[in-house]
Amino acid sequence: MSTTTTTPPARTVQQLFDLSGRTALITGGSRGLGLQMAHALGEAGAKVMISSRKGADLEQAVMSLQDAGIDARWIAADAGNPDDINRLADETLERMGPIDILINNAGATWGAPAQDHPLDAWDKVMNLNVRGYFLLSQAMAKRCMIERKKGRIINVASIAGLGGNPPFMQTIAYNTSKGAVVNFTRALACEWGHLGINVNAIAPGFFPSKMTAGILGMVGEANIAKGAPLLRVGDDEDLKGAALLLASDAGKHITGQILAVDGGVSALVGG
């Protein structure tokens, strides 16, 4: 008696990008790039939990997500505080069930000449931008991803972590932290790949945000745009596709990669 096996048909592009039935946690999700990515995953069908420090900002952000038909909730937590990180992980699992997608996006910067950079500011930036990413990734992996042998972790790095500063930037701690995120992503992808966990990073260029408002105001958005091959800065849509690719089955064979979304700045010689 012979048996035959049937190969399931290849999924369509729409099916590969569909996040229906999946859940996501996005830190720094109350505004800017985090909220943009929350919209992207929610629009693709995921339930989303967003987190940041301020409850009022989170309430407003969740309203915008729910108005778009997205199942969204929030938890206020400081992603630089280990106790808050554990509380965030536990409460998210209690309210949402196992998390399929984690986006580490919460971040801080500090502007000062390197020779005068305050130590406490250095520690604040590194604790939030690097240690926080590690602790929350570790917490989610231990609580649900390793046991289920699946998970997507997306770290928000920056093109500031791919090279040195432009002359108008004095952000040594921020650049150092984002360089650490780049190699953290690669190392974690190599260590956790056999556990079914994909780990990648998005490296944005200049996007208008609260964090970049000072530099954009000082240098001018038009002048920043002139330095990019596409002659523009990022907008409210430009991270959506990258986040959805890395979060969905369309990106199931991608891990350990750093995707620059920067208008081509990182492709320039010396960029």
Tell me if 111 sits within 8 A of 171, measured CB to CB.
yes
- pLDDT for 102 equals 99
- What is the model's pTM? 0.94
- pLDDT for 201 equals 98
CB atoms within 10 A of CB 140: 26
User: Distance between CA atoms of 239 and 222, rounded to whole angstroms?
Assistant: 20
Give 220's contacts (C-beta < 8 A, 6+ positions apart): none
Domains of the chain: residue spans and CATH: 19-263 (3.40.50.720)
Q: Point out the residues that are catalytic.
A: 174
- pLDDT for 6 equals 75
Lowest mean pLDDT among 57-61, 191-195, 267-271: 267-271
